[in-house]
Amino acid sequence: MSRNIGYMSKAIILVRQRHGHCKLYTFQSSQVSGKFKSTPVSALSTEQTKAAISDTRKLDDKSAISKALDDSEIERLSIKDYLERSKDLIRSDGGPPRWFSPLECGVRWQDSPLLLYLPGMDGVGLGLLMHHQRLGKMFDIWCLHIPVTDRTPFKDLVQLVERTVKSENSRSPNRPIYLVGESLGGCVALAVAANNPDMDLMLILANPATSFHKSQLQPLFPFLEVIPEQLHVGFPYFLTLVAGNPLRMAMAAIEKGLPLQETVGELSVSVAALLPSLSVVADILPRESLLWKLQMLKSASSFANSRLHAVKAEVLILASGRDQLLPSQEEAERLFHVLPTCQIRNFTDSGHALFMEDGFDLVTIIKGAGFYRRTRNIDYVSDFTPPTYSEFEKVYNSYRWIDVAANPVMLSTLENGKLVKGLGGVPCEGPVVFVGYHMLLGLELGPLISRFLAEKNVLLRGIAHPMMFGKVWERSLPDSSSFDIYRIMGGVPVSATNFYRLLSRKSHVLLYPGGVREALHRKGEAYKLFWPLQSEFVRMAARFGAKIVPFGVVGEDDIFDVIVDYNDFKKIPYFKAAIEDINNGRTRRLRSEAKGEVTEEDIHFPGIFPKVPGRFYFLFGEPIETEGRKEELRDREKAHELYLHVKSEVERQIVYLKEKREKDPYRTLVSRLLYQASHGFTSEIPTFEL
């Protein structure tokens, strides 16, 4: 089949039959009539399809990371591709609305959940085009196509989607079904969820049209019914410009990292190539179709709003700050207070056509929000998908200032006890448990995780406080996505079950026994360990023969001073009430049965005063073997002895680093800048002699 046939030559179409089953069709261009004809696919059997599905969950973490980090094969697409591929889809074939599954979605993971894409006013079904390749690894994607000449009422569209949802749910009752609704599609998704409150649905709503009655363009709509056809031709173009940020949409086709001059040149070429394709817009939304869609939006908004009280599904709302069609951020806030389980992610600089804009990655948003699961309950270990290079780069840029300002020194210990620069003494093969000191506010996490990925191709799976995964109180944060980076980079809520699962997958686990108490320590408590009195990790590590690597880190006192701590806040009634509200209601307390200072883990944010940056120093001790000691370490006393040994090693490393940094001629920022000025700003800065 030739490439010039169009997008449909690359798609498998699933057409819903009256008896409720699904048939596979390809659509080919007819050389005689210029229309599409459907031909049953006979080359793919169910068994062959299942055999083609890749199950990367069987890989250990190291293999999965290597496989997932490389995203260079993802084709860069833009709004021009959307318009060009829409040409074939909008040709009238007299058929009803139907589902299609794009072939570029590729091979997906086993037991991937179903994702139904519900388009906006255009109805083409290609709104997720720029995301098909990445989404296709995680989901079984079906896109709804509503032909240009179709006049199916809103309630019938809801019934069509509902039949599909019920049919697929009966096939896989333990698998969630995702409804991704854009604008009008958001109303459809809400209506389906309201009609099926007991079904396991996950809703992702991009600028939902539930606020259509408040649209900024409402005054213009009555004129559409009376303006001549000749004048109407230009209105779809106007809607296109208003719906999205043209510059951001054009930038989607530009390669990242180019010099400014080349970027401007590429952007000019991209815009010039886009202009001839804009004529398709008038064909997607001819006069009669546009009037029909606007009337449908009114009924859709009213219908969905009248049933919001019945929606029990989990909802993730994506709201644009520069949506010229709808007051999307205001509407997101309203829906957040109406829907029982709702999250919001705001995109301040984006327009209405969010999925088409440069820099927006739906997969990253889903992962960051903790919104991906393959069964009824999320499993942060088995449902985790390692970050791609582009995701890691975005995360790294958010804390790059620490790497630049503190210029971390990494030291490790070989098996013979010799200290070396770098991570040469750190085991490559898991399972490994890294146990160490948690600096103030977890400042060491950024440099630590980035260096392991860069030098060892190892992703550290941090065991973190459940607060970072709680969706109930994230809206009280200045930015509801503040903790998304921890989910993207593989953090898991602390629990024995998650620790067990990570070790069973041969992961490199990052563990802080001191937890929140260390990371939010008081004045004068820097470098003091707040570990539980009893052993918490030794016997589990021994069960899997995991190596235990104790490590120390210093440098927080060269970056910040704590000037207002927990004890100070508790003396101020306003802050005391706020701390009690967070810790006694919205945050689950850990170690309630433990003894010692580690139980004083109230969440708060200390007042800090920045200093001229010094330097961070990491020292990883000699790996402690537990292989073959499973029976020995079942004895609680033996396990406790090893636990105390690990703790003493961390304390010893901290003392060593504090002493040695005094002999580092490049401990201060000024000395490092002078060194790089004379040796080049990419040169490695020396440190003390080992």
The model's pLDDT over 543-552, given as tens digits with 9 standing for 90+, comes to 999 999 999 9
545 phi-psi bin (left φ>0, alpha ψ -120 to 50, beta other)? left
Is 50 exceeded by the pLDDT of residue 27? Answer: no
**What distance in Å separates the CA atoms of residue 158 and residue 186, rounded to the nearest whole number?**
11
Element (H, E) at 533: none
| pLDDT bucket at 58, cuts 50 / 70 / 90 | very low
Of 127 and 230, the structure prediction assigns the larger pLDDT to 127
Which amino acid is present at 488? Answer: I
Domains, the chain, ranges and CATH? 79-255+264-369 (3.40.50.1820), 389-416+424-559+612-679 (3.40.1130)
**582-608: pLDDT as tens digits:** 777 555 556 555 555 666 678 888 999
Q: What is the CB-side half-sphere exposure of residue 341 using CA atoms within 13 A?
A: 17
**59-106: pLDDT as tens digits:** 455 555 555 555 656 777 877 788 888 888 887 667 799 999 988 887
Cα separations (Å) of 296 from 97, 206, 220, 467?
15, 18, 16, 42
- Tokens 């005063």 label which residue? 609
- Predicted local distance difference test score (pLDDT) of residue 56: 40
- Predicted local distance difference test score (pLDDT) of residue 422: 95
- Predicted local distance difference test score (pLDDT) of residue 468: 84
- Predicted local distance difference test score (pLDDT) of residue 534: 81
Is 90 exceeded by the pLDDT of residue 358? Answer: no
Is 70 exceeded by the pLDDT of residue 334? Answer: yes
- Predicted local distance difference test score (pLDDT) of residue 552: 97
Element (H, E) at 670: helix 669-679
In 3-state terms, what secondary structure has residue 629?
Answer: coil
- To the nearest 10°, report the CA torsion of 479, 482, 488, 489: 160
Is 60 exceeded by the pLDDT of residue 50? Answer: no
- Predicted local distance difference test score (pLDDT) of residue 588: 56
| pLDDT bucket at 31, cuts 50 / 70 / 90 | very low
Is 70 exceeded by the pLDDT of residue 30? Answer: no
- Predicted local distance difference test score (pLDDT) of residue 344: 95
Q: How far is CA 333 from its chain centroid? A: 21
- Predicted local distance difference test score (pLDDT) of residue 520: 92
Mean pLDDT of the chain: 82
- Predicted local distance difference test score (pLDDT) of residue 292: 87
- Predicted local distance difference test score (pLDDT) of residue 24: 38
Of 347 and 582, the structure prediction assigns the larger pLDDT to 347
**What distance in Å separates the CA atoms of residue 170 and residue 21, rounded to the nearest whole number?**
12
**264-308: pLDDT as tens digits:** 555 565 555 555 556 677 777 777 888 888 889 999 999 999 999
Mean pLDDT of 527-540: 90
- Predicted local distance difference test score (pLDDT) of residue 469: 86
- Predicted local distance difference test score (pLDDT) of residue 41: 28
**415-459: pLDDT as tens digits:** 899 999 999 999 999 899 999 999 999 999 999 999 999 899 999
Cα separations (Å) of 531 from 439, 517, 619, 637, 644?
14, 9, 19, 17, 10
Full strand arrangement of the beta sheet holding 508-511: 419-421, 409-413, 617-620, 547-554, 432-436, 508-511, 460-464, 492-493
Residue 687 dihedral angles phi and psi, to the nearest 5° = -145, -160
- Predicted local distance difference test score (pLDDT) of residue 230: 53
- Predicted local distance difference test score (pLDDT) of residue 143: 96
**148-164: pLDDT as tens digits:** 889 999 999 999 999 99
- Predicted local distance difference test score (pLDDT) of residue 586: 57
Mean pLDDT of 645-661: 97
**197-243: pLDDT as tens digits:** 999 999 999 999 999 999 877 766 676 665 655 555 555 555 554 45
Q: How far apart are the first and last CA of the chain?
A: 66
Element (H, E) at 331: helix 328-338
Tokens standing for 620? 């990883």
User: Is residue 323 within 8 Å of 120, Cβ to Cβ?
Assistant: no
Angle between helical axes of 287-305 and 184-195 (0-180°, round to 10)? 40
463 phi-psi bin (left φ>0, alpha ψ -120 to 50, beta other)? beta
119: Cβ contacts below 8 Å, ≥ 6 apart = 125, 126, 127, 143, 144, 145, 146, 182, 184, 185
Is 80 exceeded by the pLDDT of residue 35? Answer: no
- Predicted local distance difference test score (pLDDT) of residue 10: 37
- Predicted local distance difference test score (pLDDT) of residue 39: 30
Beta bridge partners of 301: none
Q: Are strands 432-436 and 508-511 parallel, antiparallel or unpaired?
A: parallel
**Of 16-25, 552-561, 668-677, minimum mean pLDDT range:** 16-25
- Predicted local distance difference test score (pLDDT) of residue 321: 92
**What distance in Å separates the CA atoms of residue 351 and residue 328, rounded to the nearest whole number?**
10
Is 60 exceeded by the pLDDT of residue 117? Answer: yes
- Predicted local distance difference test score (pLDDT) of residue 625: 95
| pLDDT bucket at 473, cuts 50 / 70 / 90 | low
Q: Is 278 exposed, middle or buried (0-12, 13-18, 19+ CB in 10 A)?
A: middle
Element (H, E) at 148: none
Q: State the SS3 of 44-91.
A: CCHHHHHHHCECHHHCCHHHHHHHHHCCCCCCCCCHHHHHHHHHHHCC
**Of 85-94, 310-319, 521-530, minimum mean pLDDT range:** 85-94
Q: What percent of the chain has pLDDT over 70?
A: 77
- Predicted local distance difference test score (pLDDT) of residue 311: 97
Q: How far is CA 305 from its chain centroid? A: 29
Beta bridge partners of 422: none
**410-427: pLDDT as tens digits:** 999 998 999 999 999 999
Tokens standing for 240? 């296109």
**492-509: pLDDT as tens digits:** 999 999 999 999 999 999
**What distance in Å separates the CA atoms of residue 260 and residue 254, rounded to the nearest whole number?**
12
Is 80 exceeded by the pLDDT of residue 634? Answer: yes
Q: What helix, strand, coil percent values describe the chain, rounded to 5? A: 45, 15, 40
Q: How far is CA 389 from its chain centroid? A: 13
CA gyration radius, the chain: 28
Of 321 and 482, the structure prediction assigns the larger pLDDT to 321
Beta bridge partners of 202: 178, 314
Cα separations (Å) of 568 from 559, 565, 607?
21, 5, 10
Q: What is the CB-side half-sphere exposure of residue 368 using CA atoms within 13 A?
A: 23
Is 90 exceeded by the pLDDT of residue 463? Answer: yes
- Predicted local distance difference test score (pLDDT) of residue 95: 78
Of 620 and 279, the structure prediction assigns the larger pLDDT to 620
**What distance in Å separates the CA atoms of residue 542 and residue 199, rounded to the nearest whole number?**
42
Q: How far is CA 254 from its chain centroid? A: 23
Residue 622 dihedral angles phi and psi, to the nearest 5° = -65, 130
Our separate counts of H helices and E strands in the chain read: 26, 20
Q: How far is CA 25 from its chain centroid? A: 33
Among the listed residues 122, 121, 77, 80, the one whose alpha carbon sits nearest the alpha carbon of residue 102: 77
Would the CA dihedral through 83, 87, 89, 92 be positive or negative? positive
Among the listed residues 644, 678, 449, 418, the one whose alpha carbon sits nearest the alpha carbon of residue 550: 644
- Predicted local distance difference test score (pLDDT) of residue 33: 29
